[in-house]
Structure 1
Amino acid sequence: MKNNKVVSFERGADFYFGLSFKHIQSGRLKTALRYIEKAVKIKPDDSYMQFNYAGLLAELGHIEHSTSVLLNIINNLDPDYDECYFGLGCNYLQMQKIKKALEYFEKYLKLVPYGEYAEEAEHLVDMLYLIIEANNNLDDEELEHIYKMEEEAIKFMERREYEKALKNLEEVVSKLPNAIPAKNNLSLTHYYVGNISTAISIAKDVLEYEKDNIHANCNLAIFYNKLGINNLVERQVRLIKKLYPDSEDYAYKIADTLGCLNRYKEAYDAYRRLIRMDDKNPQYIHLMAVAAFNCKKFNEALDLWKKLQKYDGESYLGDYYYGLAVKAKEGIDDFRYLPYICQLPKEEVGRRIDKVYQFLSLEKDEIKELIINDNSIKEIIYFVISFDKLVLRKMIFDKIKKEEIIELEDVIRKYILRPDVDKSIKIESVFLLNKIGCKEPYHVLIDGEVKAISIEPDNLLKGEWRKEWEDVKNTTLKMMKNCYKTPYTNIVEDIWYDFIKSSYPDVPKIGRIEIWAAALEFAYCRFTCKDVTQQQLADKYKVSKSSISEKSRIIFSYIGNKFGERE
């Protein structure tokens, strides 16, 4: 008899390294990373492979990992590998660790004063000394703290929590008096809280340091306009019109300011300059259309809103404003200037919400009739569940579930492909589709990838629901109360029901309720990307971590694959 043997064939590190290099040349960096990781795993002491691995990590934005690889090379493999020092300098600079970056650039120059990157390193060293001087010679840790405070302040401003923003920005500016962006934001924040004289004073300080600063000049125009000092507004507008921005941010600031001042012709020119920088940006297209409309260039505005429908089908703006422009052009409606904002007018939002409340008040047959006779109702429901993802979306979902309105299936299917919808809401939406009888699979955008999800038929447990299953669910919901900001009840119920249904009739025996309850909460957190550990849940439920691990593995073995999750 012939003896057939299966011979294992292992590729060498050089093979995988070569494949990685080919993928880098083709621009497929993520694929290249997979191969180079195999190479360095086989040859962990090869400093050249490790160096290239670090470079690829940095290219993909994994700066901290790249840094750890470079440090391992100079500390454990080859302390004379000079290019590592330059790479470390670049990494630390990207992480805004200024003094650390300077340290490694200087080490590189000491090792190889005429090296390949010597000229660039010298330039960076000179620049870093200037930055350190401008940063009052603060340590990297303190600078990092200040930068975080500044980032927090910007978030406070976006949420209109101006008092909190003011506190942060005042500390930032006290530590870094020459931090121009922070001073401009501080000036704006004082304006928002009503301290206009202080806002003006800070803006003038910025202009003494940098007379052509676009943000300070634009802010001053807004401040003077608020005070009604027309001659100073005119002076600022003349100054702003002479400024030639070299970035989209600056061009947008000028256009937005002129729009806010109702300088329609100047705003039109400014938005035209902005859209030349990026003629596919939906926000710029809409604002350019508004500027054209306000100058009564109706044909241009119509063309732009038609273009907006092509580039941003989810914004609702194109359809609404196109119709509005048609009516203005044909004299059906009186002409009214439009604000330079990327949203529907408040009255239109209110009209759509009123329409949804009407929908919620109807019986099932009336809803079906409404959907047949009103072509806009689906678009309005889609808009509202996207506009208000918590309260109104929940009310609409409950209505669809209660009345089994399968006619709105296409609305929900479209909704779960939106990138701005939380994963937990998408999971709830999938269970909703299943419960109203929509056919599988359900295509969902999760983690940047469209996944086809299936759920078992909902007909296995009529009259079979056991008390211990209900006790697990109720215990979980009780323990989760006040611990999560987003709605969780329906999702927990759906996960648990789906687990029981998927394992039925061989549902695992429920012993201690608290262990299964903790495992169910862990499953919820995994599915909805909540940051929790099994040890935290073990302490909370007063059970062992290993028991949670065991039961959660069982849950995931039945339903984990539906959302790409694994224990």
Structure 2
Amino acid sequence: MNANFFFDRAVKSLDRFQYDKALKYFRKAVEYEPDNPVNHCNVAGILSEMGDYKGSNEVLQHILHKVDSSMTECHFYMANNYANMGLFEEAEHALVTYLEEDSAGQFLDEAQELMELLHYELNRPTKVNRIKSREGMVEHERARELLEEGKFAQAVKLLEEIVKDRPDFLAARNNLALAYYYTGRFNKAKQTIEEVLEQEPGNLHGLCNLAIFFQHEGNHEQSHRLVDMLSVTVPFHQEHLFKLATTMGILGKHDSAYSHFRRLLKDEEYNSDPSLYHYTAVAACNSGYYEAAASYWRQSKKLDPGSVIPDFYLAQLQQRKKTGMKVMKVSYHYHLPFEEQFKRWEQEGEMMTEEAKRNPLIRSSFFWALRHGDPHIKLQVIRTLELIADDEVRHALQSFLQEPDEDATLKDAARLVLQQLESKKNRIQDSQADIKTKEVLPDWHPDWQKVVDTAFENMDKRSDLFWKRELETLWSGFLSRLYPDIPNIRNTSGWAAALEYITAKMRGRAYTYEEVASRYGISSSTVRRYARKIDQVFENKDQSDDNFCPFTENI
């Protein structure tokens, strides 16, 4: 007779619901193998089944203190016993200890249920500093959010730390590859994906990302090989199915993407998402199934009635019918095309709203278009990024300047925006140091506004809304530097022409004094004189109050 003999007897007794006998046999097994923590756990389990929660916890504490302190699941068992005894504070303490010390996570789902019970009983949420079995998961989720918000540089930094601490965390490594890709570090992205596939050759996310990377670098042989493999892949998990569907769409295999998106729509967890109906509609449209596409966009409209996106594409389908267009190709991005979005902002007479600046879809699509859009799209994006003006924008533009194959004109535009951002940053610092340089005036006189209105009426028709706002900002900054000693403004056309000339110069557009003067009906020397006055005021911004001399003449 040994421990195994009594263990078998105990199990047979349990099958017959003979708990007293089972407890006796498990205790005999402990006598034969006192250093085996499993035997002790069996005793604790039987005691708990018999309602002796206190006795069960005494055995569990003995295991942790005397037998094997690595048996962290004992804390979970103790939490359940305490809860059954109505000792909810003690149950919470044991549960938190389990979550923070257990690396296997065998009872994570059950722990979540117990946590909800404790929340109800204690009338407060349970505070858990970290979940050891999900170490890196919280950080990874934050990194994913950063990627979705277009904050790729921050995402890279966080994901690099996660991968360093957990080299086998393949999801983090896949997302790190994407973050490298979005920031233009293509070789690093490819190398990271290869590291994923070395550990797990069949990793679907890695294979999908690699196929996109091959297409980007024009490696058609490798790209076709992977596409052939992915085309016959039928994922079981919905997350894998979504990844494959989007990848096939990006690779131009719209029929395959359409099939996968339709499968996703049959899942109740996904079929209430308006963006998924948009993706399905795009795949249908790009495959030539226009009636089906219209149906999916109408469903997207029902789920997201406030969105203008479905209406825009439905109108495009109607236009296709009228014009007899045979093929209509659209983007999978769940937002309006760039040209349409810019047009609407201008028609509404507004700049990009704060909400739009924070919108992760818009931000990430801007950064994507900066890398992969057509030249005219890239130019529009570069100008628009000046309105967002945060550290991610600076990093994106600086990375853009390092691309050897980018057009020189686009790089000049990017440099100009970076200069504007730096200038704006300096102006903010100046305003904090010297009240005279504050670009906020207590009153705005009609004569000052008349200069702006005159400029808007006469400006080059190629000047967009963003340029007009820059001119208005320049005028406000000029006046604020003179305040409170601002003289009368009389030559409205002269000031307006000078403002247009300087704004164009700041934007890299080559105007002559004569060209600007002709639009305003004044002499070129007048434009030059007023432009020089504006320049002089801004050049003097670093002088002290004692050395600063505002104009004394009537202007």
Query: TM-score under structure 2 normalisation?
Result: 0.41
TM-score (norm 1): 0.41
Question: Which structure: larger Rg?
Answer: 2
Higher relative CO (Cα under 8 Å, sequence separation at least 6) belongs to: 2
